Structure 1
Amino acid sequence: MWWDERVSARFRRNLQPTLTYWSVFFSFGLCIAFLGPTLLDLRCQTRSSLSQITWVFFSQQFCLLLGSCLGGVFKRTLAQSLLALFASSLAISLVFAIIPLCHDVVLLAVVMAVAGLAMGCIDTISNMQLVKIYQKDSAIFLQALHFFVGFGALLSPLIADPFLSDTNCILANSTNASSSLPQLRRALPHHPNLSHLELPPRGLLVTRVSYAFWIMALINLPVPIAVFLLLYKERMVPCLNGSSPPLLPADELALETRPGDKDELSTPAQRPHTPPGHEDLFSCCQSRNFQGASFTYFAVHITGALVLFMTDGIVGEYSGFVYSYAVEEPLAVVHKVAGYLPSLFWAFITLGRLISIPVSYRMKPATMVFINVVGVLITFLLLLIFSSSVVFLFVGTASLGLFLSSTFPSMLAYTEDILQYRGCATTVLVTGAGIGEMVLQLLVGSIIHDRGSYSFLVCGMIFGCLAFTFYALLVFFHRMYPNPSPGMEPQPRALFWDGSESST
């Protein structure tokens, strides 16, 4: 095998929980990418204006951010984490099943808000639990985790595509009902205020998009079942515990010690019963967590979050607006051909995350992040130089997806390694990425509306430069960050301190 026996043994020992955390991230990916291609069919279903239906986007993204901030609340014990993951993954299946029944846009926004909260909890808890289990070996497993996001995000538009309407999905006698959905799909991201395009208040609804949601609900159903089986194995199902003795706090899955692990974990007295550092955002902000912390401690958190603010923001804005950019002048790509660009982007994100699994074992996370941000910067520069080439737009889209694919898990592993698995890196980075994806998408949409489609690439270039700048600052603060000596009590409080030096 291409990894050593120690990592392989730890993976075999934690096989079921690892596969379970990977599967819930498939649910996350399945839910994150379906809304764009189905939004206009949902507009027909709710008989709403485009300006009203686009608030569903905001509802999901805002609650995803809120769920990411609150996800650490459910992570105090392993039982709470697994119960939260079970509820979240089951909620996603229920959301898929309920969406076809939502004939009011407000109700649809509420349902998508529930989905956003579930996705945010999954995002925070799964990342945290894998870091807790594998610690300094977590980079490779985080790469695999985020591969499943890309796989789910690639799969959901492919499921929805056969059921999307090509013409007006409400039949009526009015001549105003003759507009085609492909034309509206082109206009949606470029012109956010299209409330003047009205649908007939009455008529026969002919959209078949409901079948796509029901198929996705069934595909996702094995995920909460897998989480329930892990709960049952760990004797944490509230009604099925029977007479089995409860697990000791130190026997939580993330802290499990077996023969052969003596070199990885120190004595039981050094293992905290509850991890003090990887908490929810509000707990992290408590002043007791900052006692004795240096300036570089805060700087590492902030610069790491800013890198992901930019890179995850690029993922959101590029996948959302590349279609609109392609169909406008000077490229004027045929609509059906341009429709392959978002799928190509997500396909190469998925491929990149798959490639990163073995690469991350041989290459340091800091090196991978450097390659990623430089690759993003060079790709946007070439896209600007060859802005009139349709062929290079496809090549650049694939290249951008490849370089962005492993940025998040590599940054998470790098930052946790700098902080010696103490502090609030996971919570802060997940929150920063969520804010970036929400804010930059809105910012780029308004700039394109005011300045034209060419500003799409200019914005990407600026964001890429900022990502590289923040990464350079992170490396600078890493050099300044104090490296605790073995046996010293770390400040602030330690999480999984094993007395070894940093591997960075």
Structure 2
Amino acid sequence: MASQRYLVIKTMFLISIAICKGMYSEIPGATMIDLKILFNANYEQISRSVSARGIGSIIGGFVGGFFMDRFSDWSDLLLAVFLTLGGLVFLFVPFVHDLGFLWFVFFATGIASGVANIAINVGVLQMWEEKAAPPLHAIHMGFGVGALLAPLLANPFLAVVADDQKNGTSAGNITFGNATEHYLKETAVQYPFVIIAFLIIGSGIPFFVYQCFHIKKHKTYSHINSEERRKPSLKEMINPATYADGSLFYGCVMFSLLFVYYFMTVGGEQMFGNFVRSFAVDNLHFSRDHASYLDTTFWACFTVGRFIGIVSSKFLSLRFLLITEVTLNFISVTTMDILATRGQSYLWGFTIAQGLIAAPLYPIGMSFGNTLVKISGVCLTLIEVAGSLGDFTFLWLTGKYYNLYGPHAILYGYQASSILVLIVGIFFLIVSCLRKDRFSRSEFASVELPVSTEVNEVKTSNLNNEKDEEIHIVKNY
């Protein structure tokens, strides 16, 4: 009972980190307009700086994947240190007043985020083993909760532009090139960044304590831990065949499909989540407050969608869930591309639908991928790198084309993402039907060979015992 309680409490701490990570990931989208005001920049310049977190996450993914597989006994310390450093750096976001330095700050926090992603997922897999599915879904739902809280936290500190209200006294001017906007309330966007930074630092403190307990336990049971498992070599870690039943070709194909799936899924999700508020204000003339409510609604529905995924995964097959999710995502995005710009009510409806539909794509891809190849620290690194590249690429390109072609660039980018996610999902389904899942293959192999081996060993052991008894009787006689 004590051990179970330990696992539950530690999982709750991991969920708190996921919530902080969701707030960190979404706060740039909730404050994009105010960051433009603060840095006197345009969407392309701000989104290019924010996209640096994607590059940092790639490096963090490699660091986390390597250390989780090679030095798993120090995983708690690694997580705590990078969370602390990431939170300290995140404090500087609203105070740097230089776009180049802002790029570096998001790059550094991206490294911490990448390490945290790997450490959280590997930690849950190691703690819960075959029972890891519900905790993993809870972790991913925690990200949605954090993303939901970010706009609510930011909204009281955002600027109020005079165009949003008919009456009021101007508190200042905002100048972009030759254009000047009057605003009723100055931005205080630095405060939500500071609050989130301290939450990130606080979420890492318990894992310094957990590392001390782990070291004590490791010393007490060192003779058991040394024999428990063999650490893989670097060559085995980077070889796709290691995770694909020894087939290099199959491993490379599956890794490529996983890369494309997560590149498009995370890229499209982050692009829509970060720019939906700006799209609502610039294209459909939402007030800033109503646009923040729209942003909050998207992440609220996203969280609900993750919860629905937890429930549905217990009653429906992974094949059915995968093909249903990618198909609904394609239909929803396509319909939104056609109708969302017709009015505010249309955008509200599609934002709600997209939050519910897009939410399970990430965990269902990981769960289904685990039936095709063995998901380990290195595989999670691949997923982290793919998602980080998608985050970086989509944010940068969307900011660029937003300035060139207007808000419609968001819908076009999301449409391309949904098409490729659908194609990869169909390939996953085909491969699954042709090869079956790896658990079925391993079960077949383990049932046929080891049983006969054990029987032979038992027979040999019995014969040896009988011979020893006969010799003992003869000697006594």
Name the TM-score, length of structure 2 as normaliser.
Answer: 0.77
Aligned equivalents of 1:41 and 1:444: distance in 2?
18
Displacement of 1:468: 0.9
8 A contact 1:315–1:404 mirrored in 2? yes
Query: Where does residue 31 of structure 2 map in the other structure?
Result: 38
Q: Which amino acid aligns with 1:117?
A: I
8 A contact 1:140–1:360 mirrored in 2? no
8 A contact 1:138–1:413 mirrored in 2? no
Q: 1:418 aligned to 2:372?
A: yes
Q: Which amino acid aligns with 2:11?
A: T
Find the structure with the greater CA-based Rg.
2
Aligned equivalents of 1:353 and 1:425: distance in 2?
22
8 A contact 2:61–2:115 mirrored in 1? yes
SS of the aligned residue for 1:274 comes to: coil
Aligned equivalents of 2:448 and 2:325: distance in 1?
35
| Residues 118-140 of structure 1 deviation map (CA, whole Å, 9 limit, x = unaligned) | 00101122112223333443332
Query: Where does residue 356 of structure 1 map in the other structure?
Result: 309
Query: Where does residue 248 of structure 1 map in the other structure?
Result: 222
Alpha carbon RMSD of aligned pairs, Å? 3.7
Displacement of 1:161: 1.7
Q: Which amino acid aligns with 1:351?
A: V
Identity over the aligned pairs, expressed in percent?
22
Displacement of 1:310: 1.5
Displacement of 1:9: 11
Q: 1:459 aligned to 2:413?
A: yes
8 A contact 1:348–1:402 mirrored in 2? yes
Number of residues of Structure 1 aligned to a counterpart in Structure 2? 431
Aligned equivalents of 1:96 and 1:21: distance in 2?
20
Query: Where does residue 27 of structure 1 map in the other structure?
Result: 20
Aligned equivalents of 1:307 and 1:379: distance in 2?
18
Which consecutive unaligned segments of at least 5 residues does structure 2 have?
163-169, 450-477
SS of the aligned residue for 1:14 comes to: helix
SS of the aligned residue for 1:179 comes to: strand
Which among 214, 227, 232 is matched to residue 212 of structure 2?
232
Indicate the structure with greater helix content: 2
Aligned equivalents of 2:205 and 2:417: distance in 1?
40
Displacement of 1:12: 4.6
Aligned equivalents of 2:17 and 2:272: distance in 1?
25
Q: 1:321 aligned to 2:316?
A: no
SS of the aligned residue for 2:230 comes to: coil
Displacement of 1:214: 3.1
Deviates more, 1:55-64 or 1:45-54: 45-54
Aligned equivalents of 2:2 and 2:311: distance in 1?
17
Displacement of 1:179: 2.9
Aligned equivalents of 1:158 and 1:146: distance in 2?
20
| Residues 446-483 of structure 1 deviation map (CA, whole Å, 9 limit, x = unaligned) | 44444444453343233212111111111222334472
Q: 1:400 aligned to 2:354?
A: yes
Q: Which amino acid aligns with 2:196?
A: M
Name the TM-score, length of structure 1 as normaliser.
Answer: 0.74
| Residues 86-129 of structure 1 deviation map (CA, whole Å, 9 limit, x = unaligned) | 01221233234444543444433333222111001011221122
Alignment of 1:437-448 (within 5 A): 437-448=391-402
The 1:285–1:56 alpha-carbon spacing in structure 2 relative to 1, beyond 3 Å, is farther
Deviates more, 1:142-151 or 1:129-138: 129-138
Query: Where does residue 455 of structure 2 map in the other structure?
Result: none
Which among 106, 119, 143 is matched to residue 125 of structure 1?
119
Q: Which amino acid aligns with 2:128?
A: Y
Q: 1:165 aligned to 2:148?
A: no
Which among 141, 147, 163 is matched to residue 147 of structure 1?
141
Which consecutive unaligned segments of at least 5 residues does structure 1 have?
1-7, 169-174, 181-193, 200-204, 253-267, 491-504
Deviates more, 1:96-105 or 1:57-66: 96-105
Q: 1:383 aligned to 2:340?
A: no
Displacement of 1:429: 1.9
Aligned equivalents of 2:104 and 2:377: distance in 1?
34
Query: Where does residue 496 of structure 1 map in the other structure?
Result: none
Displacement of 1:162: 1.1
8 A contact 2:241–2:248 mirrored in 1? no
8 A contact 1:67–1:120 mirrored in 2? yes
Which among 73, 77, 85 is matched to residue 83 of structure 1?
77
Aligned equivalents of 1:339 and 1:115: distance in 2?
24
SS of the aligned residue for 2:74 comes to: helix
